[in-house]
Amino acid sequence: MAFTLTVSLDVTGRSAIVIGGGAEALSRVDALLAGAADVTVVTPNPDRRLVDLATAGRLTLRRRGYEPGDLIGAVVAYVTREDPTDVAAAWAEAEAHSVLLSTLDDVARCHFATPSVVRRGDLAITVATAGRAPALAKRLRRYLEDRLGPELGDLVEVLAEAREQALPRTVPFPQWAARWEAALEDLDELIGLVGSGNGDAVRQHVLDALRRDVEVVR
């Protein structure tokens, strides 16, 4: 099996279940909380950080092993296999109730594979290997993290502001897309300007490009 479609899910306010209490569970919890999911962790042996997050009201902690019914109502769930878990039962429940399930190191009981993600503000760069070489995806993520600075997140903010100022779109979409291509042609320069605090110059450059006629390449 290979996971060939990479998507981003909106989990804001949606139920997400993590069955497990160690480092693997923590990494999934962190990602779900970053997405503002309603997180429940099921484990008899929670990591200290999970306890702290539960105490702070960030998640619900059930201090026990998985039981049938735990996945009902969830949009997405993870089984990290850090606790003794009836994986076959969890998979059957997920299938019966249309819950997207990912089971650590058990591709046959996964609906999806979680890509490695580099985050810079609202910018998310995902590295995926269709579930076939997750260690490589993690290594490439670290490689990119060492080379991509926080200014990329700042650039997203500047471009979003320019886009809002330029709307509503008054030209056909192909022409609009071509203008954006022209605006972002010298990406290194734009990143450098934002990194040196010249976001206003970038915003004005983009606005000028969005108002300029350019040839549409078909």
Q: What percent of the chain lies above the pLDDT cut of 70?
A: 96
Range of the domain at 195: 151-210
Helix H or strand E segment including 16? strand 15-19
Nearest to 29 by CA among 131, 5, 42: 42
> What CATH number does the domain containing 67 carry?
3.40.50.720
The yes-or-no verdict on residue 218 having pLDDT over 50 is: no
Instruction: With respect to residue 134, please indicate whether it lies within any of the assigned structural domains.
Output: no
Nearest to 166 by CA among 180, 145, 185: 180
Domain boundary among 114, 138, 173: 114
Pair 88, 29 in one domain: yes
Using one digit for the tens of pLDDT, what is the confidence trace for 45-67?
999 999 999 999 999 999 999 99
Domain boundary among 52, 86, 114: 114
How many domains does the structure of the chain reveal? 2
Q: Would you say the pTM of this structure is higher than 0.95?
A: no
pLDDT at 1: 59
Pair 20, 80 in one domain: yes
Assigned token pair, 103: 């089971």
Distance (Å, whole) CA 41 – CA 30 = 12
Domain boundary among 114, 137, 165: 114
Pairing status of strand 76-79 against strand 15-19: parallel
pLDDT band at 40 (very low <50, low <70, confident <90, very high): very high
Pair 88, 32 in one domain: yes
